[in-house]
């Protein structure tokens, strides 16, 4: 299975469409405007925004790594975690 990137944000779909175009995103940007996903993953802040967090989920569906705050902006940590979780073919 190839790695797949999904971005989830509490922003509206229209806002995400703007960002996807501006960033030329090569992956889906999904809206969690009702904040259910953010709450389930424990990243919803009291003010209703989600803390910037990157989750690396392994091929078994388990969270293998979490990058938060400034570390979540730089994809290097998540890329390293993805390489560690990749099962040999």
Contact in structure between 27 and 8 (CB atoms under 8 Å): no
Q: Could you tell me if 46 and 5 lie in one domain?
A: yes
Q: Could you tell me if 47 and 58 lie in one domain?
A: no
Q: Return all residues near 52 (Cβ < 8 A) that are at least 6 apart.
A: 68, 69, 72, 73
Q: Could you tell me if 64 and 32 lie in one domain?
A: no
Statement: the pTM of the whole predicted model exceeds 0.85: no
pLDDT digits (tens, 9 = 90+) for 45-71: 999 999 989 888 888 888 888 888 887
Q: Could you tell me if 46 and 74 lie in one domain?
A: no
pLDDT digits (tens, 9 = 90+) for 11-25: 999 999 998 899 888
Total domains present in the chain: 2
Q: Could you tell me if 41 and 69 lie in one domain?
A: no
- Domain, as residue range, for 33: 1-51
Indicate the pairing of strand 29-31 with strand 7-9.
Answer: parallel
């Amino acid at each position: 299975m190839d790695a797949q990137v999904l971005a989830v944000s509490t922003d509206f779909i229209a806002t995400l469409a703007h960002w996807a175009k501006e960033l030329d995103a090569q992956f889906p940007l999904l809206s969690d405007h009702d904040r259910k996903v953010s709450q389930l993953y424990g990243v919803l802040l009291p003010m209703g925004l989600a803390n910037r967090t990157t989750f690396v989920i392994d091929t078994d569906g388990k969270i293998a790594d979490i990058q938060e705050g400034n570390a979540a902006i730089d994809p290097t940590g998540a890329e390293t975690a993805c390489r560690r979780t990749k099962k040999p073919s």
